[in-house]
Amino acid sequence: MAKARAIVKRLKAVRNIKKITRTMELVATAKFKKAMERALEATAYTRKLAEIVADVSASLGESGEEGAVSHPLLAVRPQVKKRLLLVITSNRGLCGGYNAGVLRVAGQLLRSRDLTVTLDMEVSGKRGINFYKFQRQPLVRTYTQFEDKPTFAQIEEIANRIMDLYIAGEIDQFDVAFMQFQGIARQKPVVETLLPIGNLESESAVSGTEATTDYEFLPSPEEILGEIVPASFKARLFKCFLDAAVSEQVFRMVAMKGATESANDMIKSLKQRYNRARQSQITSELSEIIGGAAALE
């Protein structure tokens, strides 16, 4: 009896775990949809921003001042002495290879960099923080306030501080390691360089279809472009966080789906084993009774 009972206990445990993973899957699905909506809504802003950039630079180009935009955030420093890396991980686990993926690309950068360059690290998310604590990697700053709904105000604060650091010359390059969301079935851990801003118009939305409208600029195209640069940096950083939030939910969804399926398989095989154990127990009990009765005769 002992063996069958042990299996029953195990079976119960697996069923309970299955309930949890199934629920987590559903929660992740709901959160994913919301995060996805937010990410989509945010694209309206970046698209419009790119449009304005295109219009402004078109008019600058016309007036013969090609590349007249100079902004401290656009300037590429000839020698990079100090870099800042922001690693975006999640606060909670149970999301498959999400954190491992991001930490892997960050680790690659950490190992492959030129050792004469100092690299400061900032990490968002408890998972990453604990990982680097274990690795004894000093972290300049850590954030744990970002859950599945990062707000622009939160990001703006970070962006402003980083821009100040960059303009003051305390850092020469700023990278972000995060899970890029390329589609529901495709996410990729990447390290993206946000500062210096390489190309303002790199965003896909810029197309030269419309003939340029003759705009009136208030105050002047140069000044507007100068003001757009920080806005565009903020929008990009915000997009990194939104991407990370969406990817996290996708990974959790997939991981929990796998876990639920595995639990189902396990329940099946445990049930089989239990039935066998029960059967053999009954058989042995029967044969004992028959044996006992035969001995009495």
Binding-site ranges for other proteins (CB under 8 A): 38, 41-42, 44-46, 48-49, 51-52, 55-56, 151-153, 156, 164, 167-168, 213-219, 221, 223-224, 227-228, 231, 234-235, 238
Q: Which helix or strand (DSSP H or E) is residue 76 part of?
A: none
To which residue do tokens 């945010």 refer?
A: 42
Contacts (Cβ under 8 Å, ≥6 apart) of 22: 256, 260
Q: From the CB of 63, what's the least distance to other proteins, in Å?
A: 14
Q: In this complex, which beta carbon is closest to other proteins, that of residue 160 or of residue 283?
A: 160
Q: From the CB of 41, what's the least distance to other proteins, in Å?
A: 4
To which residue do tokens 């900032």 refer?
A: 122
Q: In this complex, which beta carbon is closest to other proteins, that of residue 115 or of residue 168?
A: 168
DSSP string, 153-212: HHHHHHHHHHHHHHHTTS-SEEEEEEEEEEETTEEEEEEEEEES---GGGSTT----SPP
Q: Which of 93, 98, 92, 94 is nearest to 187 (CA)?
A: 98
Q: From the CB of 118, what's the least distance to other proteins, in Å?
A: 23
Q: From the CB of 170, what's the least distance to other proteins, in Å?
A: 13
Q: From the CB of 206, what's the least distance to other proteins, in Å?
A: 14
Q: Cα 226 to the chain's mean position, in Å?
A: 30
Phi and psi at 183, nearest 5°, equal 165, 165
DSSP string, 21-73: HHHHHHHHHHHHHHHHHHHHHHHHHHHHHHHHHHHHHHHHHHTT-TT----TT
Q: From the CB of 128, what's the least distance to other proteins, in Å?
A: 24
Q: In this complex, which beta carbon is closest to other proteins, that of residue 66 or of residue 227?
A: 227
Q: In this complex, which beta carbon is closest to other proteins, that of residue 129 or of residue 224?
A: 224
Q: In this complex, which beta carbon is closest to other proteins, that of residue 87 or of residue 225?
A: 225
Q: In this complex, which beta carbon is closest to other proteins, that of residue 114 or of residue 216?
A: 216
Q: Which helix or strand (DSSP H or E) is residue 92 part of?
A: none
Return d(Cα 11, Cα 32) in angstroms, integer. Answer: 31
Return d(Cα 243, Cα 235) in angstroms, integer. Answer: 12
Q: From the CB of 71, what's the least distance to other proteins, in Å?
A: 13
Q: In this complex, which beta carbon is closest to other proteins, that of residue 55 or of residue 248?
A: 55
